[in-house]
A and B are shown apart, each in its own frame.
Chain A
Amino acid sequence: DGGITQSPKYLFRKEGQNVTLSCEQNLNHDAMYWYRQDPGQGLRLIYYSQIVNDFQKGDIAEGYSVSREKKESFPLTVTSAQKNPTAFYLCASTHGTVNTEAFFGQGTRLTVV
């Protein structure tokens, strides 16, 4: 079955550490997105990529980095520069432009301990 997979589902990080969240899709979608979800704030766009080897900053890119070396994969690194990383992170993909349905992964809950 085609879909979008995020791993791990839960992640704990010590302060000062970098962590990488995985996002893989087998939908042959061109565009991929990372969102951060906090209670009462909805989804905020971190980074997005429309094609391989290219990506753009979203609204809250500071403290995060991404890569898009393969069409199927769009990993997100939460760096130590991100001051408040505890949140629920969602990855999504669309075929071409956003004027089509976005498919979401099940999310990764990151907690700083």
Chain B
Amino acid sequence: GEDVEQSLFLSVREGDSSVINCTYTDSSSTYLYWYKQEPGAGLQLLTYIFSNMDMKQDQRLTVLLNKKDKHLSLRIADTQTGDSAIYFCAESRRADKLIFGTGTRLQVFP
């Protein structure tokens, strides 16, 4: 199938780390992405990882890729209330399509 799956909700306390998980199906995907969507708005690219990498760190964000299990995760360190949003993972497929996951709604409480 073509599904990219994520859990729908995640709730964390401010200052804790958040880990958002994603599983994908196409082993030929060359890039995997994390996008953030604020309420009522479009998506913005947060970070991406090339398929031959295991990990990528960018300030508070850490992306881990387990290609064998087709599992991608996004860790947000020191989560803030401004991080509350929907997070989508996406994979590029055949270089002409972006397939998005179902999105994970992250809620950060004080």
In the complex the two chains form, is A107's CB within 8 Å of B42's CB? Answer: yes
State whether A104 touches B42 (Cβ < 8 A): yes
A40 to B44, CA, bound (A): 19
Residues on the B chain within 8 Å of A94, using CB: 98
Contact between A102 and B102 (Cβ–Cβ < 8 Å)? Answer: no
Chain A interface residue count: which class?
20 to 34
Are A99 and B102 in touch, CB under 8 angstroms? no
A31 to B98, CA, bound (A): 11
Question: Which one of A92, A98, A105, A106 contacts B92 once the chains associate, using CB atoms below 8 Å?
Answer: A98
Q: Does A61 contact B (CB under 8 A)?
A: no
Number of interface residues of B (CB under 8 A): 28
Q: With A and B bound together, what is the CA distance between A102 and B31 in angstroms? A: 12
Min Cβ gap B105→A in Å is 9
Instruction: Check A97 against B95 for contact (C-beta < 8 Å).
Output: yes
Please report the C-alpha to C-alpha distance between residue A90 and residue B45 in the assembled complex, in whole angstroms: 14
- Rounded to whole Å, the gap between the CB of B109 and the closest CB of chain A is 21
Q: Is the CB of B97 within 8 A of A43?
A: no
A43/B42 contact (C-beta < 8 A), A59-B2, A99-B95 known: no
A106 to chain B, nearest CB (A): 5
Minimal Cβ-Cβ distance residue in A for B98? A98
User: Which of these, A41, A48, A105, A107, contacts B102 with CB under 8 Å?
Assistant: A41
Q: Does B96 count as interface, using CB distance less than 8 angstroms? A: yes
Chain A positions near chain B (C-beta within 8 angstroms): 4, 6, 31, 33, 35, 40-43, 45, 48, 50, 56, 58-59, 90, 92, 94, 97-99, 101-102, 104-107, 109
4 closest A-B pairs (Cβ-Cβ)? A104-B42, A42-B102, A43-B100, A97-B95
Q: A94-B98, A98-B95 are in contact. List 9 more A-B contacts (CB 8 A).
A: A42-B4, A42-B6, A43-B88, A50-B96, A90-B42, A92-B98, A101-B45, A106-B40, A106-B41
